């Protein structure tokens, strides 16, 4: 992210937090305690961000504030959000009365939550507040030139949107090796806004990805405890095995520090699949199972074997090391980190040797497509159809803006389409 952009976003956040502390009518969360406007001038406020090495104690020392207040605030916040956990880069605001007593302390815990400690009748009270975003619906699209992240945009919010897309389709598309120049995607997603400004993306409602001339579509449908994605017929996209043992999300975050996204190559010189990848690239299990081997084995070098349901086994060879806590007999969940790419055993360079067997026989993992998730329940099918029909209409009629253009976030869906979507999705949620 460009530096001045980051500073700009930070500035917005500082202003937001400051407005929380000063009881401005910007957000009506605190109107029950809003003092008359003429009382405000006697308060002063400190608006800043936590810096590396800052503690609340050092901040208090810097501003000559009372340590009694600090201790009282700490104990008030202890069970809500310990003040030891202040993180560099987060915005905070302190409001003081004319005698430098703390009136309130406000701190941005994360993108969704604000901590507020307030003096109420000479005692501190701590509470967490959700940042009250307004949800709009955005349509974004792109074309793959080299990888998903460069197509969606490297700026933080776009980057997170790209990872969401990769997660939704992780059972069908290996975003490290399957993408082709000219692949296209269209996304219908929530955009979260504050005071009319785009802040971040929310949930993806639908995505369509054309990979190598094959279309993959996913529709969000929320029922029960967690949101799931389905194809147009209501089948779950979840399968027993992920498309690849090298997770796009893990690799992206692993290499983001060096600003380097390795282009992985895939080879099939034998009954397994080889992924060339830098030493240290995280390897994850493609499915739920139990580790039946974790050690050295001849040409495989450091090897992990995982047994899955229905007699399937997966092999991960030439690892440089195992992940923490990995040992024989351990149960693992799909996507868990198990080790790191290396060149142990008979390997000319760092790569992951991956193979799948059923019984003793090696099989092609790309042919195995057991759906593992439940389909949309029959009782909910009418609602699901109604909702996907609306999303289909949006796909057919809406303009999809280039994901990489900042401007695109100004253009949300036209109100009638949005109203229609809201009506159809409301039907599927339990009335509160
Ligand atoms: Zn191999």
Q: Would you say 244 and 177 are in contact if contact means Cβ atoms under 8 Å apart?
A: yes
Residues 25, 54, single domain; the answer is yes
**Most confident option among 18-27, 183-192, 195-204, 369-378:** 183-192
Distance CA 84, CA 87 (A): 9
Ligand 1 centroid to 275 CA: how many Å? 8
Residues 6+ apart with CB under 8 A from 152: 140, 142, 158, 159, 161, 162, 165, 403, 404
Residue 379 dihedral angles phi and psi, to the nearest 5° = -65, -20
Identify the band that residue 27 occupies on the pLDDT scale cut at 50, 70 and 90.
very low
Residues 231, 376 within the same domain: yes
Are 224 and 320 contained in the same domain?
A: no
Same domain, 187 and 286: no
CATH number for the domain harbouring residue 337: 2.70.70.10
Question: Are residues 294 and 338 located together in one domain of the fold?
Answer: yes
More confident residue, 297 or 194: 297
Domain interval for residue 338:
241-370
Look at residue 257 and tell me whether its pLDDT is greater than 80: no
What average pLDDT score do residues 215-242 get? Answer: 92
206 plus 224 within the same structural domain:
yes
Q: Which of 98, 130, 162 is the last residue of a domain?
A: 130
End-to-end CA distance of the chain: 40
173-190: b or e for each residue (b if 16 or more CB lie within 10 Å)? bbbbbbbeeebebbbbbb
Total-model pTM:
0.79
Residue 51 CA to ligand 1 center (angstroms) comes to: 47
Q: How many domains does the chain contain in total?
A: 3
Taking 70 as the threshold, does the pLDDT of residue 307 lie above it? Answer: yes
What's the CA-to-centroid distance between 270 and ligand 1, angstroms?
Answer: 7
Residue with tokens 């699949």: 273
Whether residues 231 and 318 fall in one domain = no
CATH number, residue 117: 3.10.450.350
User: So what's the pLDDT on residue 10?
Assistant: 54
Give residues whose Cβ lies within 5 Å of ion ligand 1: 272, 274, 353
- The DSSP 8-state label assigned to residue 176 in this structure reads T
318 Cα: distance to centroid of ligand 1 (angstroms): 9
**pLDDT in the model for residue 357:** 96
Q: How far apart are the CA of 352 and the centre of ligand 1, in A?
A: 7
Q: Are residues 145 and 228 in the same domain?
A: yes
Position 189 confidence tier, pLDDT thresholds 50, 70, 90: very high
pLDDT interval class at 430 (50, 70, 90): very low
How remote is the CA of residue 401 from the centroid of ligand 1, in Å?
42
Q: What is the pLDDT of residues 99-111, one digit of tens each?
A: 889 999 999 998 8
Question: Where a domain ends, among 317, 339, 370?
Answer: 370
Q: CA angle at residue 278 from 272 to 281, to 5 degrees?
A: 80
Task: Say yes or no: 247 and 361 in one domain.
Answer: yes
Strand-by-strand arrangement of the 401-402 sheet: 228-230, 214-221, 197-211, 184-194, 134-143, 401-402
Pairing of strands 312-319, 302-307: antiparallel
Ligand 1 centroid to 274 CA: how many Å? 5
**Final residue of a domain: which of 130, 145, 173?**
130
Q: Are residues 148 and 224 in the same domain?
A: yes
Q: Please tell me the predicted confidence (pLDDT) of residue 14.
A: 53
Q: What is the DSSP letter of 325?
A: T
Q: Could you read off the pLDDT of 325-334 as tens digits, one per residue?
A: 999 999 999 9
Q: 104 in helix, strand or coil? A: strand
Nearest to 266 by CA among 286, 282, 244: 244
119 lies in the same domain as 260: no
Q: Are residues 109 and 254 in the same domain?
A: no
């Amino acid at each position: 992210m460009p530096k001045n952009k980051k500073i700009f976003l930070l500035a917005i956040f500082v202003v937001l937090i400051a407005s929380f502390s000063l009881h401005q009518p910007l957000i009506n969360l605190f109107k029950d305690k809003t003092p008359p406007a003429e009382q405000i001038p006697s308060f002063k406020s400190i608006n800043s961000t936590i810096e590396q090495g800052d503690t609340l104690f050092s901040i208090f020392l810097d501003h000559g504030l009372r340590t009694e207040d600090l201790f009282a605030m700490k104990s008030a916040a202890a069970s809500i959000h310990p003040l030891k956990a202040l993180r560099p880069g987060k915005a905070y605001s302190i409001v003081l009365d004319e005698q430098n007593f703390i009136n309130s302390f406000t701190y941005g815990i994360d993108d969704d939550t604000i901590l507020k400690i307030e003096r109420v009748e000479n005692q501190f009270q701590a509470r967490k507040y959700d940042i009250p975003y307004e949800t709009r619906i955005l349509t974004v699209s792109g074309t793959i030139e080299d990888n998903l992240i460069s197509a969606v945009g490297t700026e933080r919010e776009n980057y997170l949107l790209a990872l969401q897309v990769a997660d939704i389709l992780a059972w069908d598309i290996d975003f490290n090796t399957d993408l082709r120049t000219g692949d296209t995607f269209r996304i219908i997603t929530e955009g979260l806004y504050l005071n009319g400004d785009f802040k971040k993306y929310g949930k993806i409602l639908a995505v369509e990805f054309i990979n190598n001339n094959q279309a993959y579509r996913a529709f969000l449908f929320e029922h029960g405890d967690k949101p799931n994605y389905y194809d147009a017929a209501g089948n779950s996209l979840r399968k027993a095995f992920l498309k690849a043992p090298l997770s796009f999300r893990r690799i992206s975050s692993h290499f983001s520090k060096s600003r380097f996204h390795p282009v992985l190559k895939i080879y099939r010189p034998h009954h397994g699949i080889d992924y060339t990848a830098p030493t240290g690239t995280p390897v994850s299990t493609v499915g739920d199972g139990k580790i039946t081997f974790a050690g050295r084995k001849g040409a495989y070098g450091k090897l992990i074997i995982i047994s899955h349901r229905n007699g399937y086994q997966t092999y991960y060879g030439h690892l440089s090391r195992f992940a923490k806590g990995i040992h024989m007999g351990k149960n693992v969940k799909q996507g868990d980190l198990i080790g790191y790419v290396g060149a142990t055993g008979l390997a000319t360079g760092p790569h992951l040797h991956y193979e799948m067997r059923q019984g003793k026989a090696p099989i092609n993992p790309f042919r195995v497509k057991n759906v593992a998730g439940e389909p949309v329940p029959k009782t909910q099918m009418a609602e699901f159809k109604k909702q996907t029909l609306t999303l289909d209409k949006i796909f057919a009629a809406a303009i999809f803006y280039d994901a990489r253009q900042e401007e695109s976030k100004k253009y949300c869906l036209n109100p009638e389409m949005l109203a229609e979507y809201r009506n159809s999705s409301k039907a599927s949620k339990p009335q509160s």
